[in-house]
Copies of this chain bind each other. A is one copy, B any other.
Amino acid sequence: VVATADALVEEIHFRRDWTGPEDLGWKALAVNVSDILAMGGEPFAALISVALPSATDPGWVEALYQGLAACAEEYDCALVGGDTVGSPERIFLNVALLGTAEPGRVRTRSGARPGDRVCVTGALGDSAAGLALLRAGSHAYPALLDAHRRPRPRRLAARALAAEPAVTAMMDLSDGIASDLRHIVTASGVGARLDAGALPLSTAARAAAADLGADPIEWALRGGEDYELLFTIRPEAVARLPRILAGTGVTATAVGEITAAGYLLVGPDGREEPLAPEAFAHFHA
């Protein structure tokens, strides 16, 4: 059994005017599904705790549960219980998710070794682009808004990667690769060098960044909420990735390598600088 939990607080993690209740329900469960899948597990049962102000519209709550149920159905897990309580002002939502995992397929953050390649699935920064569009009051680029509101965890890719012995560590990208890769580095007792120029960006994210005067690499590094897979793989297996991921509907991109020590970002100009998990890096602007 593997387990995870994620808490969402109104005004901190979501705003009711930016995210509808059905999308919120979907996302609250999906982010946990993503975490279980990235460990090599399969979700099976969710416990939903929700604290609601007494003035909450019952239709809003019903739509929240519709979103939860839609995600549960999509990922074959059951909503088995939880708790519903009152709250003075804000909505709180906690999802605890249980999954099963075959011991041989469990992937943690601690298996990365120097020489491994750092890879990600899909494109990075779409969710941050969607959030930036919402903040700007724009509803252009529906795919980016959708990436932010309704993330789709990479089930087939996670299964394929968890079955591959050359994959040494895996997690999902929730906070942005600059922060999440640090967890692998710390847990594995290694270093990493990330190549900013190699980060996979969607055409839509590049276009939205141009519209908003924003930096899409910054979105990819620190925007968060992509729910793509971040994994390390033995270098000799990188060439096999297209075969490993065949039929999963997703491709992977090598974006860096595991080193003995240090935590560095290589800019598009080849210059190296410390990779700050939180603060903004400006050299690529």
Contacts and interface: CB of A to CB of B under 8 A. Distances in A.
B96 A7 contact: no
Interface in A1-47: 1, 3-13, 45, 47
Nearest to A35: B81
A90 interface: yes
Interface string A50-83: 1100000000000000000000000000001111
A49 interface: yes
B49 A6 contact: yes
- Residue among A8, A13, A47, A81 with most chain B CB within 10 A: A47
Contact of A88 (B8, B9, B94): B9
B85 A13 contact: yes
A5 B82 contact: yes
A16 to B, nearest CB: 13
A89 B90 contact: yes
A205 interface: no
Copies of the protein in its oligomer: 2
Interface residues of A, number: 32
A82 B96 CA distance: 8
A51 B8 CA distance: 9
B12 A88 contact: yes
B89 A92 contact: no
Contacts of A81: 3-5
Nearest to A88: B11
B90 A87 contact: yes
A12 B47 contact: no
Contact of A5 (B11, B89, B96): B96
Nearest to A10: B88
- Nearest 6 A/B pairs, CB to CB: A96-B96, A5-B47, A7-B49, A94-B94, A92-B92, A7-B83
21 contacts: A3-B45, A3-B96, A4-B47, A5-B47, A5-B83, A7-B92, A9-B51, A9-B86, A9-B88, A10-B88, A11-B88, A12-B85, A12-B86, A12-B88, A47-B96, A49-B94, A87-B90, A88-B89, A89-B89, A94-B94, A96-B96
